[in-house]
Structure 1
Amino acid sequence: MSSALAGDVEHHTFDSPTLGHPYPYTVYLPDGYADSPERDYPVVYLLHGSFGTERDWVAKGNLAQTADRLIAAGHIPPAVFIMPGSRSWWIDGHNEAARSAFFEDLMPHVEATYRVGNNRDQRAIGGLSAGGFGALNFALERPDLFAAVAALSPASYVPYPPLNSSAHRHPAFLDDEGHFDTALWDARNYPALLEEYRMQVTPRPSAEESDVPPVPLYISAGRSDVYDAEYHARLMRQAMERIQPNDVRLDLYPGGHTWRVWRASLPAALNFLFQYVDPQAEDRDGT
């Protein structure tokens, strides 16, 4: 592909009041972004995995090449991708308040800095492994903010992570004695969020539609995942289909808990998200 048709990748930080230190992120800006200052673009937030960084999706996941190809082919519209960095599992854990920083610092910074839509219809979220855990949790907690969510090999284990999972040694979940905090996991994993989410997205008896629509969910997993992600993905699909039976998709791939699987499933995930995200970049004056 000609470089003239490629998006730009940039790495930045900004001061995060919540974290008390610079918040790192990588941004993909679609081809033509700099030449169309009057346009707003849809935005997708992509979360990395356990002990990962904000550079993973570009360096290991081929995000830029995949986005370039899908945009050039017309499969997805030109869009901005934000890939934040976190020292936690995207929760307010024992080491940092990653969840609060995402909502209170990162999203406002992105919407003030880039020409992205600031409404639900132009915003989606996704993640891999621990980032899939975080992406699903964010969508369940705030269905008013996201049009769709993708969880690739989500580390949303029920009831608890397998013993070989890095969750058992991650500082987000280690208490003052260095033990895995099961109560924190119980409070932050998606089953704890389902009932409140159901109440938000289910129409009241007197209404045909709920005030906040369900957030369509894409799930993928490798069939030989060492953390048994296929089993946990099937549990997740079953739980979510009770609430939104027509808005859940599960794809299974050969392979394990690896970038090979995540690279393979990324195009399907993005195509899924953009079935629900507003494909039209809008003029800044609203036309």
Structure 2
Amino acid sequence: MGAPDLGIPGAATYVYLPPGYRGGSGPRYPVVYLFHGTPGRAADWFAAGNAARALDVLITRRLVPPMIAVAPDLNGGGLHDTECLDDPAGGRQVETYLRTRLVPWVDGHYDTDPEPAARLLAGMSAGGFCALDQGLRHRDTYRPIISILPFGDPGGDWRERLGPQRFAAVSPSSYLPAITLPGPDPVFLCTGEETSRAERDGIDALQAQLTARGEPVARHDVGDGHSWRTARICLPYGLVFAARYLPQ
């Protein structure tokens, strides 16, 4: 799906339905939105990330409740790096698209639980930043966050596009001390032990800031680098953690 008026070209959105799903049968399901990295595309979480297999196993073993998974295309193809933000120059308005088009579309087409607490965000790398930033700034839309290999800000290109003040306003590493968090705002952080020291230091700082705010935070590191292998290993741990905070 796409939204030409928001600069979002038509692209595939992948949807996973849990075992036993029967549309219109009564049960309402939580939804996990899966955000890919950059460069990347919607299929990545199901191809490289093995998300469907992970969900099948976790649901069958009753480690998480049955849930729907939705993987949108965040970049519109090519090497665009949206970081799930609205382009101030009038290009892709990805942040607006996710909240005002994608989420309502999913709720309108599937048997979802529409509570914000039943919408999980999960992402890796640039998608890890997306999950963390969108989740923290839009608690009226999403709640549990699974942030894998994340960054604390959207990067130098966006600093130039936004300017210092607006850049800080979309950078968790800058706004976390002051942002209003209605709570509980559970966040799962995961990285690879073979990532750069600077990357691990950045995640350490995010963890410390979240902990200082009294938020439920879990951390899991794996023996790999900045890769889809790390993401595949991290996702099940994150889903089990986030499931504790889903509506009962």
When normalised by structure 1's length, the TM-score is 0.76
Which residue is equivalent to 1:249?
A: 218
Which residue is equivalent to 1:284?
A: none
Which residue is equivalent to 2:132?
A: 136
Read off the aligned partner of 1:116 and give its amino acid letter: T
Please give the alpha-carbon distance, in whole angstroms, between the structure 1 residues aligned to 2:199 and 2:163: 20
Read off the aligned partner of 1:225 and give its amino acid letter: T
Which residue is equivalent to 2:231?
A: 262
Please give the alpha-carbon distance, in whole angstroms, between the structure 1 residues aligned to 2:163 and 2:191: 24
The answer to whether the Cα contact below 8 Å between 1:18 and 1:105 also exists between their aligned partners in 2 is: no
> Aligned pair count?
239
Which residue is equivalent to 1:275?
A: 244
Shift of 1:139: 1.4
Matching of residues 129-208 of structure 1 within 5 Å: 129-157=125-153, 161=155, 173=158, 183=164, 185-197=167-179, 200-201=180-181
Which residue is equivalent to 2:78?
A: none
- Superposed CA RMSD in Å reads 2.3
1:236 paired to 2:206: yes
Which residue is equivalent to 2:84?
A: 90
Read off the aligned partner of 1:115 and give its amino acid letter: D
2:123 to 120, 127, 133: 127
Shift of 1:181: 6.0
Shift of 1:248: 1.0
Larger deviation: 79-88 or 26-35? 26-35
Please give the alpha-carbon distance, in whole angstroms, between the structure 2 residues aligned to 1:231 and 1:192: 15
Matching of residues 18-37 of structure 1 within 5 Å: 18-19=6-7, 21-22=9-10, 24-34=12-22, 37=25
Distance 1:51 1:174, change over 3 A: farther
Distance 1:28 1:270, change over 3 A: same
From the two aligned structures, give the one with the greater strand fraction: 1
Which residue is equivalent to 2:38?
A: 50
The list of structure 1 runs, each at least 4 consecutive aligned residues, that deviate by more than 6 angstroms after superposition, is none
SS in 1 for 2:108: helix
SS in 1 for 2:203: helix
Please give the alpha-carbon distance, in whole angstroms, between the structure 1 residues aligned to 2:11 and 2:247: 28
The answer to whether the Cα contact below 8 Å between 2:41 and 2:73 also exists between their aligned partners in 1 is: yes
Please give the alpha-carbon distance, in whole angstroms, between the structure 1 residues aligned to 2:8 and 2:234: 35
Q: Deviations over 1:99-122 (max 9, x none)?
A: 111111111111111111111232
Give unmatched runs, 5+ long, in structure 2: 76-81
Shift of 1:16: 5.3
SS in 1 for 2:176: helix
Distance 1:53 1:20, change over 3 A: closer
Which residue is equivalent to 2:79?
A: none
The answer to whether the Cα contact below 8 Å between 2:8 and 2:92 also exists between their aligned partners in 1 is: no
Distance 1:100 1:236, change over 3 A: same
Which residue is equivalent to 2:68?
A: 80
Give unmatched runs, 5+ long, in structure 1: 1-12, 162-166, 202-211, 280-287
Shift of 1:187: 3.5
The answer to whether the Cα contact below 8 Å between 1:149 and 1:216 also exists between their aligned partners in 2 is: yes
The answer to whether the Cα contact below 8 Å between 1:19 and 1:101 also exists between their aligned partners in 2 is: no
Instruction: State the percentage of identical aligned residues.
Output: 25
Please give the alpha-carbon distance, in whole angstroms, between the structure 2 residues aligned to 1:101 and 1:142: 13
The answer to whether the Cα contact below 8 Å between 2:121 and 2:145 also exists between their aligned partners in 1 is: yes
Read off the aligned partner of 2:52 and give its amino acid letter: A
SS in 2 for 1:139: helix
1:221 paired to 2:197: no
The answer to whether the Cα contact below 8 Å between 2:2 and 2:8 also exists between their aligned partners in 1 is: no
- Determine which structure has more spread, i.e. the larger CA radius of gyration: 1
